[in-house]
Chains A and B, each alone.
Chain A
Amino acid sequence: MTTPAIELRNVSKRFGSVIALNDVSIAVNPGEVHCLLGDNGAGKSTLIKILSGVHRPSDGQILLSGEPVVFRSPRDATDAGVATVFQDLGLIPLMSIARNFFLGREPEKGIFPFRRFDLDHANKIARQALIDVGIQVRDPSQAVGTLSGGERQSVAIARAIHFGAKVLILDEPTSALGVHQAAMVLKFVIEARLRGLAVIFITHNISHAFPVADKFTLLNRGTSKGTYAKSDITREEVVRIMSGGEDMAAVEREIEDLLEKAR
C-alpha cells in the first residue's frame, strides 16, 4: 500500500463554541485527484485552511508522506510542498505578473551590498511557466490586475507547480472561468496527477468534478460522511451529496410547477 502524500487524522477545529470540523480523516495518494464535496458551510474552507497552514487543527494530526507535521504558517506549508490556490488567488493586483510570481522567493543576483532582484530572469521564467500552463501574457511586467479571472487562476497554478508542489489544493478553481479556461484548468489537474502530484479539488460543478476525480469525500455540517472511489458511486449520487442532500429532482419539479403557473 502506498503512503498517502498528505493525510489528515481525526482532525477537529473549533472556533470558540462553533465546531467547524469534527473528527475528519482524509488521505490523498500521489497521482490521485481527490474531490472534496459539500454544500456551503460543510467545512470545506476550514479543511483547506488547515491543510494550507492558515489554521492549526484544535485536535488531530497532519501527516505528510507518513510523517506528522505542524504548519505554523502558510509559508511552512508551501515550503513543505503543499501549495494552495485560493479563490482570492494570493495575487496582488497592482504588482506585475513576474513580481507576483516570485513574491517571497525572489531570485537574486550580484553580491552584497549590491544584491538585487533578478527581474529579467523572473520575467523570463514567469513567461515560460505561463506558456506551459497554456496562457500567453503580453508582457510579464504588466500588472496582474489587467488579467482576466482565468489568466489569474493560471498564474496562481503555474506558480504552485513551478515551486515544486507535491500536494496541490485547488479551491473552486473553475468557478469564475469561461468554458475554454475551465477546460484548461481541468486538463491541468490531470497533468498534475500524471506528474504524481496529489491533488485536492473543491468545486460545485459536477461536470468539472466527475471527469477528473478518482475519489470523493463528502463533508456535511463539519463531519465526514465517507470517502468513495469513483467506481463505487454514481454521478447522480454525487450531485445529491453536493447539493447538501436536497432532492434536486424535487426542486426541478417545483420550478416547473411555478413556470406552469406563470403561463
Chain B
Amino acid sequence: MTDAPTPPPAAAAQGRAPEITRKSLDRPDERVAKASAFTRLMRRPEAGVVLGLIATFLVFAVLPGAASLYSLQGAMTFLTLSAELGILAAAVALLIIAGEFDLSIGSMVGFAGIVIGLLVTQLAWPLWASIGAAFAVAVLVGYLNGYITVKTRLPSFIVTLASLFILRGLSIGITRAVTGRTQIPYILDNPPDPWTAAIFNGHVLTGLFQWMGTQGWIATKGDGMPFVPGIPMSIVWWIAVTCLAGWVLTQTKFGNWIYASGGDATVARNVGVPVARVKITLFIVTAVAATLLATIQVMEAGSADTVRGTQKEFEAIIAAVIGGVLLTGGYGTVLGAAFGALIFGLVQMGIFYTGIDTDWFKVFLGLVILAAVLVNNYGRARALGERVES
C-alpha cells in the first residue's frame, strides 16, 4: 500500500471544472465515518441480548427478596435452569440460522427418557446401552424430520408439528401399554451404574468447592460439606455444547453452509452447497440435543416421565430469538442463544425468589419475545448497512 495521494487544492477559482473526489484504492471511503469499537460491538447480533441481560441482572439486584438469587446456591439454581434450556437453544439456533424449525424437540425430550426407562426396567438393558439406544432413536427421528422436510418442501414448522404430536403420543401410549402408568421410576437402581450416571448428573471441581468450604469462603452444611458440592454436569454440558456449536458455525466450512442455507437456499445450492444434507444434519443435531437433555434429567430424577420436555421447543426458540437469531434464518450466533438461555433461567428463578406470582412469567416472556424480534429486525438492518437513523 502506498500513502494516500494528497488531493489537489479545491477548485475555488471560477471558470474551472468542478472538483471531483476520485475513487481510490489506497484510502478509505471518506463518506463512511469510521465506526468506533463500541459501535462495532453494538452491531454484533448479541448486542441486544447482552444489554437485556445486564438490565435483568440490575432489576433483580434492586428487587426485594431476589438477593439470594446472587448467592452461590441461587446462581447454581438458575444456571442449571439456563443450562438445560441452553443445550437445546444452541442446537435450535443452528437450525433456525439454516432456515428451519424443529417443534418436536420437547416431545423428543420426553420420548428419549421413555426409551431409556423402558429399556432399563423392562428389557433389563444396561444403563449405558439404553442411553446409547436413545441417541440412536434420536438420530433416526432427526433424520426423518429432516428428510421429510427437504423432500416434500413443506414448511418444517408443519412437519415437526406432526412429530411433536406423534412422539408425545407414542411416549404416553407405549408407556401406558407396557407399564400401565405414565411414569417409569427406579431407573438408576437395578443394577446401579454410578459411573454412567455421573457423566450426566455429577459435579465437577468438587475438590475446589470443598476446599473453599473449609476456607469459609462458601456456605457449608453442619458436617462441613459445602451446600454447593461443585459445578453440576448440566452446566458443563451446556458450555461444551455451546462452544462446539459456536465453533462449527463460525469457524468451519459447514458453518458457512449453515448461514448460506438459511440466507438463500437457492443461491447456496447453485454454488454447490449440499443444502439438503446441511438441513438434515441439523435436524439430527436438535434431536440429539433433546436426548442429551432427557438423559441429564433422567439421571437427575432417577425416573422418566411421559410429559417431560413439554413446551421446551418454544422455550428454546425463544432463547435463540432473544439471543439475536433471526427467525427467518441466515443470521445469528450460538453465543447469543446461550445469553438468551441465561436470561430465561435468571428471570424464571428471579420471579420465584421475589415472590411475584409465577403466572406473570408468561406475560413477561411474551413481551420479551416481541421486544427481541423488534430488536433483531433493527439489528439485521444495521448488519446490512441500511440507513437506520441514529
Contact = CB atoms under 8 A, between A and B. Distances in A.
A94 B384 contact: yes
A136 B330 contact: no
B256 A143 contact: no
B263 A138 contact: no
B251 interface: yes
B263 A94 contact: yes
Contacts of B330: 92, 94-95
Interface string A91-107: 11111000100111110
> Is the interface on chain B under 10, 10 to 19, 20 to 34, or 35 or more residues?
20 to 34
Given A105-B272, A115-B252, A117-B256, A91 B267 contact: yes
Say which size band chain A's interface belongs to: 20 to 34
A99 B273 contact: no
A131 interface: yes
Contacts of A103: 256-257, 260, 268, 271, 273
B385 A145 contact: yes
A92 B264 contact: yes
B10 interface: no
Contacts of B385: 142-143, 145-146
Contacts of A88: 267
B63 interface: no
Contacts of B383: 94, 143, 145
Contact of A117 (B23, B255, B260, B386): B255
Contact of B259 (A54, A95, A104): A95
Nearest to A53: B270
Contacts of A138: 28-29, 32
A55 interface: no
A9 interface: no
Main secondary structure of the interface of B (DSSP, over half): loop
B308 interface: no
Tell which of B29, B267, B383 has the most Cβ of chain A within 10 Å: B267
A117 B273 CA distance: 14
Given A103-B273, A117-B251, A138-B29, A93 B263 contact: yes
Contacts of A226: none
Nearest to A75: B272
A23 interface: no
A145 B32 CA distance: 16
B380 interface: yes
Contacts, number: 95
Interface in B211-265: 247, 251-253, 255-257, 259-260, 263-264
Nearest to B254: A117
Contacts of A95: 256, 259-260, 263, 330
B253 A108 contact: yes
A92 B267 contact: yes
Interface in A109-151: 115-117, 119, 131, 134, 136, 138, 142-143, 145-146
B263 A75 contact: no
A29 interface: no
Given A78-B272, A138-B32, A143-B383, A92 B25 contact: no
Nearest to A88: B267
Nearest to A100: B260
A74 B270 contact: yes
Given A92-B264, A95-B263, A146-B384, A117 B271 contact: no
Contacts of B256: 95, 99, 102-103, 106, 117
Contacts of B269: 73-74
A66 interface: no
A92 B263 contact: yes
Nearest to A144: B384
A211 interface: no
Given A138-B28, A138-B32, A143-B383, A94 B259 contact: yes
Contacts of A119: 251
A90 B268 CA distance: 8
Contacts of B260: 92, 95, 99, 103-104
Contacts of B25: 131, 134, 136
B331 interface: yes
Interface-central residue, B252, B255, B270, by most chain A CB under 10 Å: B270
Which one of A54, A88, A104, A143 has the greatest number of beta carbons of chain B within 10 Å? A104
Nearest to B251: A116
B24 interface: yes
A93 B330 CA distance: 9
B270 A54 contact: yes
Nearest to A163: B271
A180 B21 CA distance: 13
B261 to A, nearest CB: 10
A88 B25 CA distance: 26
A51 B264 CA distance: 22
11 contacts: A91-B267, A92-B330, A94-B263, A94-B384, A95-B259, A103-B273, A105-B272, A115-B252, A116-B252, A116-B253, A145-B384
Given A104-B268, A116-B247, A136-B29, 8 more contacts: A74-B270, A74-B271, A92-B267, A94-B263, A102-B256, A117-B252, A134-B25, A143-B383
| Those 9 A-B pairs whose CB atoms lie nearest each other, nearest first | A146-B385, A145-B384, A75-B272, A104-B272, A92-B263, A104-B271, A74-B270, A106-B253, A136-B25
